[in-house]
């Protein structure tokens, strides 16, 4: 099996789209379609089902995906090991991150990292916290960035940054007459949550439970798969939600969303880098973790 075809196959599965995979790989869409068809012909089985623009993985495709991810990871490690033997720091750093660290915290850090280590190519994929941890456990990526840690002895969690969750409402604050509300004021208002694998959701629900409010007491009207979707739903008047302060800074300044304080409630949380404890990290991944430590010690990773 050709490694290039395996890389294209993994990209199509990740993006769920031939056109999006082509864009990510800087290839023409017909080229992606041809390579997938060639791979299916070589293996004598259907790997992907296409229903219009929607792409789903077949049972055979799921089996191949497990091996293809490992093959690509081993290929990256082999290249980096050879570079290391030659005294060079080159290779590819693949990071999986949940929404907030992936979209708001890591980009400027990765920019500074790339300036210092120009020979390392960087790939950043966005998922939810649960998906990121699964990718690390399955050796699909070496390093992840997540909004909640798990009690898993096979994983090492290192603090990346601190964040604060805030309660957002539509611009007219239609359900609240005051700038500060009580916890009971949350119970009858339409509530919008992130999906169940989200670190933001986990942190918010844990804190509310500590304060005496269970999820079942909230009037949950929607569960959405991204912070962007949550922000838009709140802006349109669909309900209220807890989101990262980092994610709504612009919308609040523009008056598209409003922040309301809850008396006695502070929702601070940490973001973490995660990697496998027993896994020997590639030179690129090890250098990145050391770089993060230096950035934190130098005060270059802001708290909020």
At 278-290, the pLDDT tens digits run 888 888 898 899 9
Report the SS3 class of residue 209.
Answer: helix
Check residue 77 and give its pLDDT: 78
CA dist 280 → 83, 102, 144, 284 (Å): 16, 24, 15, 11
CA distance from start to end of the chain: 47
Contacts of 190 (CB under 8 A, 6+ apart): 175, 219, 221, 238, 239, 240
At 171-208, the pLDDT tens digits run 998 899 888 999 999 998 999 999 998 989 999 999 99
Query: Does position 272 have pLDDT exceeding 90, yes or no?
Result: yes
Contacts of 83 (CB under 8 A, 6+ apart): 89, 90, 91, 119, 283
- 14 within 8 A of 38, measured Cβ to Cβ: no
Residue 163: strand pairing partners: 269
For the chain, domain boundaries: 1-87, 164-268
How many CB atoms lie under 10 A from the CB of residue 154?
11
pLDDT band at 215, cuts 50/70/90? Answer: very high
Residue 169: strand pairing partners: 258
Domain 164-268 sits in CATH at: 3.40.190.10
CATH 1.10.10.10 is held by the domain 1-87 = yes
Report the SS3 class of residue 279.
Answer: coil
Distance of CA 4 to the CA centre of its chain: 25
Check residue 140 and give its pLDDT: 87
Mean pLDDT of 48-61: 87
CA dist 68 → 11, 71, 144, 272 (Å): 11, 5, 19, 27
């Amino acid at each position: 099996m050709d490694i290039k075809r395996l890389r294209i196959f993994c990209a199509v599965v990740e993006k769920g789209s031939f056109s999006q995979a082509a864009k990510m790989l800087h290839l023409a869409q017909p080229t992606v379609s041809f390579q997938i068809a060639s791979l299916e012909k070589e293996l004598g089985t259907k790997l992907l089902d296409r229903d219009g623009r929607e792409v789903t993985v077949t049972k055979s495709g799921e089996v191949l995906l497990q091996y293809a991810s490992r093959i690509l990871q081993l290929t990256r490690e082999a290249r980096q090991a050879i570079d290391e033997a030659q005294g060079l720091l080159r290779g590819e750093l693949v990071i999986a991150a949940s929404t907030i660290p992936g979209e708001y915290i890591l980009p400027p850090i990765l920019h500074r990292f790339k300036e210092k280590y120009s020979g390392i190519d960087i790939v950043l994929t966005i998922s939810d916290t649960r998906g990121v941890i699964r990718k690390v456990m399955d050796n699909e990526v070496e390093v992840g960035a997540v909004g909640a840690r798990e009690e898993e002895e096979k994983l090492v969690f290192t603090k990346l940054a601190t964040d604060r969750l805030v309660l957002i409402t539509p611009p007219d604050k239609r359900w609240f007459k005051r700038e500060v509300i009580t916890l009971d004021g949350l119970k009858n208002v339409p509530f919008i949550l992130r999906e169940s694998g989200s670190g933001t959701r986990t942190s918010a629900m844990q804190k509310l439970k500590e304060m005496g409010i269970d999820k079942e007491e909230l009037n949950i009207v929607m569960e959405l798969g991204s912070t962007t979707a949550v922000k838009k739903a709140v802006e349109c008047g669909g309900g209220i939600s807890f989101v990262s302060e980092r994610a709504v800074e612009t919308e609040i300044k523009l008056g598209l969303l409003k922040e309301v304080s809850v008396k006695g409630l502070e929702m601070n949380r940490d973001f973490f880098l995660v990697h496998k404890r027993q896994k020997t990290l590639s030179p690129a991944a090890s250098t990145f973790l050391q770089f993060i430590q230096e950035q934190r010690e130098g005060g270059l990773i802001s708290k909020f």
